């Protein structure tokens, strides 16, 4: 029978999920723990591509359906939970989720095989309790509205494996520009400033490894950029078991579609690195040309905690790097607080300016 994957405890048959604290798979019932290698040895990670469950298209008006796992209500499809048999309605690009009825992790095997099979994964290192604390600390900013209570929304924070393309490349190019050096000296009673002007060129190359670009249309690019960098010392070969207990997305932007963003970053870095070698006091770049030779582009799933919430009708996304704990997001701003603080600053500035006039004039 075609089915999705749920990971069973070899001891008691309960469901396993990844534990970020112990970096192992933990049974929800008997609390036994297993490494990925142990699961591999037991054949738990093997996906029989002939037997994977394909998604089912929803019948009738799709706008009448809501996702059962809290994923975006857009292009929805249906799966069957291998554990309890309930219908899971989720986004077309969801690769792993949690069954809302039996609370067991389910991996959609059709989303992690063939072209969608990731090469690498970085397992979660930050667990939900740390995320909650971090969000509460993060939201305590002077302009945060009083009624924006992190306790009310933090439970909605979801661990998500986000699809990324990792580009390794060699960038070569040349910059040219004008540089100046300055020195001061005394001659008799006079002090002089001397500026020397040079034309310079620098040609060279830099190698970059695994520049990440998120490959999901629905996840904000600037949010994923902001939680970087990831530490690749933890990157490992992909195994579907790592997805157990988390949501996961598969890519819906291919490597060519994402390349433009990677190329821009790589070229800017080359320019900056070449500029650093022009050791003048000031540098004005007048031309820059470059080319990028891509050595590899690998598909990887990287961990992030995401919270989508609404405040006064506006959508907010908060994100935390699931490996390093870096937290980012744009908090709502209390306009009254902003007005009061700006006014206090202006009054302080006025008094300082006014008093300063009489002190120094």
Query: Residues 176 to 195: which contact other proteins by CB under 8 A?
Result: 178-179, 184, 189-195
According to CB under 8 A, which one of 260, 272, 291, 293 is a site residue for other proteins?
272
For the CB of residue 119, give the shortest distance to other proteins in the complex, in Å: 17
Instruction: Give least dist CB 21 to other proteins, A.
Output: 26
Q: How far is the CB of 169 from other proteins (least distance, A)?
A: 9
* β-sheet bridge partners, residue 5: 107
User: Of 64, 199, 284, 287, which one interacts with other proteins (CB under 8 A)?
Assistant: 199
Can you spell out the DSSP letters for 136-162? HHHT--TTS-TT--HHHHGGG-EEEEE
Residue 3 makes CB contacts below 8 A (sequence gap 6+) with: 51, 52, 53, 80, 82
Q: Which of 155, 222, 281, 293 binds other proteins (CB under 8 A)?
A: 222
Closest to other proteins by CB, 12 vs 264, is 264
CB 296, min distance to other proteins, A: 12
* The token pair that represents 346 in the structure block: 């202006």
Measure the CA–CA gap between 350 and 356, rounded to whole angstroms: 10
Whichever of 22 and 339 has its CB closer to other proteins, that residue is 339
Contact between 207 and other proteins (CB under 8 A)?
yes
Cα(3)–Cα(20) distance, integer angstroms = 27
Distance CA 142, CA 133 (A): 18
- Residue 147 token pair: 């009624």
* Among positions 103, 203, 236, 289, the unique one binding other proteins when judged by CB under 8 A: 203
Q: Closer to other proteins by CB, 77 or 306: give it.
A: 306
Q: Rounded to whole angstroms, how far apart are CA atoms 15 and 27?
A: 6
Contact status: 220 vs other proteins (CB under 8 A): yes
* All residues at 6 or more sequence positions from 73 whose CB lies less than 8 Å from its CB, including other chains: 65, 66, 67
Cα 84-90-93 angle, rounded to 5 deg: 125
**153 contacts other proteins (rule: CB under 8 A):** no
Q: Name which position in 13, 74, 85, 142 contacts other proteins (CB under 8 A).
A: 142
Query: Does the footprint of other proteins cover residue 13 (CB under 8 A)?
Result: no
Give the integer Cα–Cα distance in Å for 31 and 11: 10
Q: What are the backbone dihedrals phi and psi of residue 264, each rounded to the nearest 5 degrees, phi first?
A: -60, -45
- Per-residue tokens: 158: 């979801």
**Which residue's entry shows tokens 């670009």?**
213
Least gap, CB of 306 to other proteins (angstroms): 13
Least distance to other proteins from the beta carbon of 70, Å?
22
Structure tokens at 153: 């929304």
C-alpha 345/C-alpha 351 separation (Å) is 10
CB nearer other proteins, residue 13 or residue 142? 142
Cα separation, 63 vs 66, whole angstroms: 8
Identify any residues that bridge with 159 across adjacent strands, giving them in sequence order: 305
Q: Which is nearer to other proteins, 1 or 361 (CB)?
A: 361
- Contacting other proteins (CB under 8 A), which of 91, 210, 241, 321? 210
Interface pick for other proteins out of 86, 132, 208, 283 (rule CB under 8 A):
208
Please give the Cα distance from 58 to 62 (Å, whole number): 6
Q: Residues 145, 149, 152, CA angle at the centre, nearest 5°?
A: 150
Q: Which residue among 132, 206, 285, 294 contacts other proteins (CB under 8 A)?
A: 206
269 binds other proteins (CB under 8 A): yes
Quick one: 193 or 287, whose CB is closer to other proteins? Answer: 193
Q: Could you say whether residue 330 binds other proteins (CB under 8 A)?
A: yes
Q: Which of 41, 42, 336, 343 binds other proteins (CB under 8 A)?
A: 343
Residue closer to other proteins by CB (options 72, 178) is 178
Kindly tell me which residue out of 26, 55, 83, 202 binds other proteins, with binding defined by CB under 8 A. Answer: 202
């Amino acid at each position: 029978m075609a089915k999705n994957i749920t990971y069973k405890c070899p001891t008691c048959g309960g469901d396993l999920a990844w534990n970020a604290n112990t970096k192992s798979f933990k049974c929800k019932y008997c609390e036994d723990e297993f490494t990925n290698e142990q699961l591999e040895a037991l054949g738990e990670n093997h996906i029989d591509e002939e037997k994977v469950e394909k998604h089912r298209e929803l019948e009738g008006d799709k706008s009448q359906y809501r996702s059962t796992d809290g994923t975006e209500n857009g292009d929805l499809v249906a799966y069957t939970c291998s554990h309890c048999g309930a219908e899971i309605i989720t986004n077309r690009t969801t690769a792993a989720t949690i069954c809302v009825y039996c609370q067991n992790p389910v991996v959609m095997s059709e989303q992690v095989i063939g072209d969608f099979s990731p090469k690498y994964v970085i397992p979660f290192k930050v667990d939900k309790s740390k995320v909650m604390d971090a969000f509460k600390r993060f939201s305590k900013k002077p302009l945060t509205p009083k009624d924006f209570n992190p306790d009310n929304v933090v439970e909605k924070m979801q661990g998500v494996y986000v699809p990324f393309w990792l580009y390794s490349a060699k960038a070569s190019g040349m910059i040219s520009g004008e540089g100046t050096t300055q020195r001061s000296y005394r001659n008799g009673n006079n002090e002089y400033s001397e500026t020397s002007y040079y034309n310079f060129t620098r040609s060279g190359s830099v190698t970059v490894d695994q520049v990440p670009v998120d490959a999901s249309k629905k996840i904000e690019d600037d949010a994923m950029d902001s939680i970087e960098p990831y530490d690749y010392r933890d990157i490992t070969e992909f195994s579907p078991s790592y997805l157990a207990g988390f949501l996961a997305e598969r890519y819906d932007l291919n490597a060519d579609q994402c390349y433009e963003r990677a190329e821009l970053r790589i070229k800017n870095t080359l320019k900056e690195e070449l500029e650093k070698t022009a050791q003048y006091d000031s540098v004005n770049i007048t031309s820059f040309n470059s080319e990028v030779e891509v050595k590899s582009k690998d598909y990887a799933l990287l961990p992030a905690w995401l919270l989508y919430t609404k405040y006064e009708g506006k959508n907010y996304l908060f994100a935390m790097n699931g490996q390093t704990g870096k937290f980012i997001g744009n908090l709502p701003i209390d306009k009254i607080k902003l007005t009061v603080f700006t006014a206090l600053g202006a009054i302080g500035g006025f008094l300082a300016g006014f008093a300063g006039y009489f002190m120094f004039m």
